[in-house]
Chains A and B, each alone.
Chain A
Amino acid sequence: ETGVTQTPRHLVMGMTNKKSLKCEQHLGHNAMYWYKQSAKKPLELMFVYSLEERVENNSVPSRFSPECPNSSHLFLHLHTLQPEDSALYLCASSQEPTLAGGPGELFFGEGSRLTVL
């Protein structure tokens, strides 16, 4: 497999369920991201992991819990979500930016479409 792979592609869950989204990148990158895409809104950065350490957490509610066990895998654990959390969750990866080389290009997965009932 190549690129960034996300599973599941579609997920329907109740507000009391616990589920996880999985992302795997096969590009040898060392930074991974979770974004939330809702209709009519800019992409919202949720979490960034660089070299397996969390470097960004944009005031995301604690009902979203990320995990990055290694540089190729990223999870988003979900529990007690609200209907307004329904959205497309996009995973991305990049090579750590360098001052000489500029920012690394983001490579996105196809997303996990989450519906919270």
Chain B
Amino acid sequence: GNSVTQMEGPVTLSEEAFLTINCTYTATGYPSLFWYVQYPGEGLQLLLKATKADDKGSNKGFEATYRKETTSFHLEKGSVQVSDSAVYFCALSDPESDGNQFYFGTGTSLTVIP
């Protein structure tokens, strides 16, 4: 079946530090992969996505590369800011096998301190 596993949090970093949040997936087909971000008191919003192997999604300085050989989609940012403090969710969708179903990880809480 399809599933997503992401690293447990919480993660605390100093401003300008390098960020990596690991995400691995299991899929029966050829899924699309997503990172969503949830700021305090808000719903989830799409941060970036990749629809096929070797694609790189990027937005707001964040990047993630769809690695089929390692079934991974790790989120990275070179220099985090206090405003990046949020919960980050890795997600997978494969309409061919699962229609409208999206599979989310448990979320990783990031706190950036000045």
User: Which residues does A use to contact B, with CB under 8 Å?
Assistant: 4, 6, 31, 33, 40-43, 45, 48, 50, 55-56, 90, 92, 94, 96-99, 102-103, 105-111
Contacts and interface: CB of A to CB of B under 8 A. Distances in A.
A97 B41 contact: no
Interface size for chain B: under 10, 10 to 19, 20 to 34, or 35 or more residues?
20 to 34
A31 B102 CA distance: 13
A55 B100 contact: yes
Interface string B72-114: 0000000000000000010101111001111011110000000
Given A97-B93, A102-B32, A103-B32, A55 B43 contact: no
Contacts of B32: 102-103
Given A97-B95, A102-B32, A103-B95, A108 B100 contact: no
A31 B104 contact: no
Nearest to B95: A97
Given A55-B99, A102-B95, A103-B95, A41 B106 contact: yes
A60 B109 CA distance: 27
A48 B49 contact: no
B89 A94 contact: no
B69 interface: no
A42 B36 CA distance: 13
Contacts of B44: 90, 92, 106, 108
A94 B94 CA distance: 14
Contacts of A92: 43-44
A92 B101 CA distance: 12
Contact of B94 (A6, A31, A42, A103): A103
A6 B44 CA distance: 13
B28 interface: no
Contact of B100 (A41, A56, A90, A107): A56
A40 B87 CA distance: 12
A89 B20 CA distance: 28
A105 to B, nearest CB: 5
A28 B4 CA distance: 29
Contacts of A105: 34, 46, 49
B88 to A, nearest CB: 13
